[in-house]
Amino acid sequence: MKKLILIPILLCMLNACRTMQEAPAPTINCTSEPVLNDHLASAQLDSLLDAAVSDGLVGGSLLVQSAMNGTFNRAFGYANLQTHQETELCQQYRVASLTKMFTATLTLMLVEEGHFELATRVGEYLDEAQVSGIQDINEITVEELLNHTSGIPNYDDDVRFAPMILNDPGRPISLEQKLQLVRSKGGRVPKWVIKKFGQIYSNTNYLLLQLMIEKTTGKEYAAVLNELIIEPLVLMNTVTSNEEPFPENLAIGYVDFYGNGQIRAVQEWDAYRFDGEGSIISTVNDLQTFFDALLSGQLVSWEMLEQMKNKRLGLLQEEFELENALGHDGIAIGYSAEMWYLPRSQLTVILLSNQGRLVNENWSVLKFENLLRQVIEVAR
């Protein structure tokens, strides 16, 4: 009898003592440009970041650029908790849904080149095999994909998606597999719901935009991104996870997955699942270069930029202390990203972190968003 009880105890002890799978350590080989921190509130911003790290934020990078108050640029916390390696400004992060701004920009560049229009119906442009089974696809336009008014369900809301990730974390999940979740589920969010809420956010919209980009150019999404945005803007530290899932300067991503106050490395979990909806890995400086170029009319015309802002094509609108902002946020497992421009204050804030926002009660959402709001309040 005693022996029987001892078996599970011994198995537990063996398991607790086994060697854990260690996350690969990031190697910092990049050289950051000398940083001019001339923002009038630099000391306050430093204090905010120090307080955030003291309060449990693992690490990240912050870039603030204000036309009136100057620039602030700083990395904070740790890129690897195992080795206590501190973050550098050239540290890369998965930026998740900030990728949608890049995908939207590529789409609008192709619209301006005359390949298709915002009013083009997706089902009529793409091959039938690509879009078969997606309800009402022949009625849905490019514009509706860009501003999340298509009503196409979000593939990662499907009950099968989480087990797909957890069954084999780091397993490649193809664009076609993600579309298959939507096809087999069927259905479309009714128009009245979209009208009521303005938008129904769906990653699937940006998978279809990727297909439009690839069909138009005859090239893969990453190649088009390189050709039209990354190379012209010299974004040296920007890649897609499809090309390079673990670039050498990628900070290790952590998350309190079970909400029990213990965090673990999870940077593999989203390494191979994203496409045009979230695959970009980048730095705050590269993101700033892209955002500046976009908002200064270098990538699309002023007219198109106005449409992008007014119709929320790849840009979300958020209100910070009664001031409207344009930009996007991003959530990958183990990573958080925010990139916003406040036109009235002429302020850009880019905040990246290697701590995920999966839990609703602690760092994940509230504290990270509070930090962003505090930064904006101090910086403008």
Which residues have C-beta within 8 Å of that of residue 264, sequence separation ≥ 6? 254, 255, 257
Which residues have C-beta within 8 Å of that of residue 65, sequence separation ≥ 6? 71, 288, 347, 348
Tokens of 26: 């990031």
Window 75-114: residues binding another protein (CB under 8 A): 78, 81-82
CB of 274 to another protein, least distance (A): 17
Q: Which is nearer to another protein, 119 or 162 (CB)?
A: 162
CB of 157 to another protein, least distance (A): 10
Window 265-284: residues binding another protein (CB under 8 A): 265-266, 268-269
Radius of gyration of the chain (CA): 22
Among 30, 40, 164, 293, binds another protein (CB under 8 A): 164
Q: Is 129 in the site for another protein (CB under 8 A)?
A: no
The side-by-side arrangement of strands in the sheet containing 93-94 is 93-94, 280-282, 239-240
Torsion-angle region of residue 96: left (phi > 0), alpha (psi -120 to 50) or beta? left
Part of the chain binding another protein (CB under 8 A), chosen from 85-93, 115-123, 132-140, 164-172: 164-172
Q: Is the Cα torsion angle 199, 204, 207, 209 positive or negative in sign? A: negative
Window 189-228: residues binding another protein (CB under 8 A): none
Part of the chain binding another protein (CB under 8 A), chosen from 29-37, 147-155, 166-174, 282-290: 166-174
Residues 360-379: x/- map of binding to another protein (CB under 8 A)?
A: xx------------------
Among 40, 170, 220, 223, binds another protein (CB under 8 A): 170
Among 172, 258, 343, 370, binds another protein (CB under 8 A): 258
Instruction: Give dist(CA 250, CA 338) in Å, integer.
Output: 17
Q: Which is nearer to another protein, 317 or 362 (CB)?
A: 362
Q: Is 330 exposed, middle or buried (0-12, 13-18, 19+ CB in 10 A)?
A: buried
